[in-house]
Amino acid sequence: MSFISGASDFLLHSYHRSFNGFVAKLTEGEKLKLEGKDGVVSVFASRKKQLQTTRSWDFMGFPQTVTRSTYESDVIIGMFDTGIWPESASFNDDGFGPPPTKWKGTCQGNSNFTCNNKVVGARYYHSERELLTGEIASPRDTRGHGTHTASIAAGGIVEKASFLGIASGAARGGVPSARIAVYKICWLDGCSDADILAAFDDAIADGVDIISLSVGLTPVNYLKDTIAIGAFHAMKNGILTSTSAGNQGPSSETILNFAPWTLSVAASTIDRNFISKVKLGNGAIYEGRTINAFDMENTMYPIIYGGDAPNATDRENQELSMFCTPGSLNKTLVEGKIVICDDELARTEGAKNAGAVGSILRFGFNRIAEIYDLPASVISISDQADILKYLESNSEPTATILKSTEYKDELAPSVASFSSRGPNPITRDIIKPDLTAPGVNILAAWTEAAPTLGSDIIPFFMISGTSMSCPHVSAAAAYVKSFHPTWSPDAIKSALMTTAYTMNADTNPDAEFGYGSGHINPAKAADPGLVYDAGEIDYVKFLCGHGYSNKQLQIITGDDSTCSGGANATVWDLNYPSFALSTKYKESITRTFHRTVTNVGSARSSYKAIVNAPAGLQTQVEPAVLSFKSVGEKQSFVVTIKATMIKPMISGSLVWDNGFHKVRSPIVAHITNF
């Protein structure tokens, strides 16, 4: 059984040999009494984690006409998020038969929420407090995030979808025939650890095939990472967990979800971007970055600089008027005008509250386009300087902001600036993130409970984040699963990683620590040729080799696993589809990696090792040729890598090539201070 009871700040992580579940809530006194008792794996503080289309699937070479498996409708994706808006056209169940017989879940709805043959189940978790205003004790989504991610992964095809006429086209998920199971774990104040663990417990028992989880907070050790613990239990039960890398980039070592038994997903751009032009009264036009759905109908409005309109009644905020922070602007001076602001971080709330009809914001670096709640354009520092000169030279300056138009981004895909970077803060010799996928300006379904612009109901909305890239990979994993129902989570992960598109390191200076093995290529992943497979025992050996005691190991495994009997294995022997080694500046290091690949391609095939090893990276592979006589046959090999570190990072690759399949694994040597 699994249980959550009481109200407190601590979680009891317990296990029973016949039980996959985890958690009960405890007081401080109960915590002290239970620590060290039989069956109690760990007690730790419960924290709140945070949430992290039409074009994206076509962009990655995955059109509607891609070959589909007849098993796709039997695949169930568990969405851990803010719930779902089941009435969205993306979740229509026309043409769907009943759920597959493996489904054991439930629809925890009410008179205002029902499941169907598309959304086969839904649960909600709210263990730690009373509901806040605007929250609903139901799997229904009142924020939009969960509806958005679910439709990216498995939304049905919806023709003529758009965000108020922008980015119009046919909206669809990666696996539109797959089923969705909803686990509402996130609310207005975040996502409770207790609720996350309970959702893992239920999803495993319910019979989901893939778990998609766009949630994270701060990097923590595997021992206290509820997502890592829950995902380990899912992996034991044959379920792959796809997680978002986080939105704390571009600084290094900011990745949030990095347990090696999960799939960690970074965010990258697609080739569709948006500009919103600012037109001045003198005819000059400047291009800004926003997704502006408002149409000012080319009407010219007076413009004013926020720094010239301070709120004299609020002295504390007077100096902030240049940034247009809420309360800092003089309503009399700003009302009915377009206001120019020195900073985009204050967004448009201050300008809107002061009665402005539009806002021109300034940024100092290349950034993604966003949506604002009034006409807005985000321009460069130099363009803002030109506009301010126009204000100074004209007694009645005017401007208008035009509705956004699309343009093609020739540099896509590139890793988004916000996407969290590696290296892995706990296990530095495993590359994280694993992959990147579209996560910028993704159009997908939205909830009608959260009007976005004024009082308008918007069925499709565009947002950015690794929360959007994660369900792209979840869908790709479900696509592979539909062709290979018996494949393990690690076999699916390997297929996605080794078939990924290579990324341009010149436009992505963080290289593999930004994009992992590359950009997902779902169509290719269904036929990878070879896979690096692993399972529970491999990760137990990895944790033992990591120096974990039996007690620490059991915190993660939830059973009576031990590190005795030669269970230890080094990180370099984990059968991972990538290779990493770290050392200090100007030092040389040699590492030996033992790997095994399984033939999942043609019965008789021979693969040759092709190594890309730039200066400073010496790589040997033994044997250099792998010959297979049957499908399912395994072959082992050894990779010896020597690196001399002068640069912070050196990247290479190993490709097993049989003339048709190219099974690629990145090789990274990097400098660490730890």
Which sequence positions are flagged as catalytic? 81, 145, 467
Q: In this structure, what token pair is assigned to residue 333?
A: 């001076």
d(C-alpha 34, C-alpha 332), whole Å: 63
Cβ proximity of 611 and 654 under 8 Å: yes
The answer to whether 540 and 557 are in contact (CB under 8 A) is yes
Of residues 50, 34, 114, the one with CA closest to residue 82: 50
First-to-last CA distance in the chain? Answer: 42
Helix orientation angle between 536-545 and 550-557, rounded to the nearest 10 degrees: 140
What is the DSSP secondary-structure string of 60-128? TT--TTS---TTGGG-EEEEEES-B-TTSGGG--TT--SPPTT----B--BTTB---SSEEEEEE---S
Find all residues with CB under 8 Å of 319, minimum gap 6, and list them.
Answer: 310
Within 540-604, strands assigned E span 579-583, 588-599
Sign of dihedral through CA atoms 355, 358, 362, 366?
Answer: positive
Neighbours of 507 (CB within 10 A): 11
Residues with Cβ within 8 Å of 329's Cβ and at least 6 positions away in sequence, in order, are 306, 309, 310, 311, 321, 339, 350, 351, 353, 354, 356
Q: What HEC string does 2-44 produce?
A: CCCCCCCCEEEEECECCECCCEEEECHHHHHHHCCCCCEEEEE
Is the torsion defined by CA of 315, 318, 320, 323 positive or negative? positive
The torsion angle over the Cα atoms of residues 560, 566, 567 and 573, rounded to 10 degrees, is 180
Kindly state the DSSP code that residue 307 receives in the 8-state scheme: G
Beta bridge partners of 635: 597
Distance CA 463, CA 247 (A): 13
532-554 burial string, b = 16+ CB within 10 Å, else e? bbbbbebbbbbbbbbebeeebbb
Contact 20, 205 (CB under 8 A): yes
**Both structure tokens of 658:** 């049989």
Gap between the Cα atoms of 533 and 31, Å rounded? 39
Strands 617-622 and 634-644: antiparallel
Q: Which residue has the tokens 């008027």?
A: 321
Distance CA(242)–CA(490), nearest Å, equals: 11
Q: Report d(CA 49, CA 43) in Å as an integer.
A: 18
Distance separating alpha carbons of residues 323 and 346, to the nearest angstrom: 7
For residue 433, say if its preceding peptide bond is cis, omega within 30 degrees of 0.
yes
The full DSSP string for 219-254 is ---GGG-HHHHHHHHHHHTT-EEEEE--S-TTSSS-
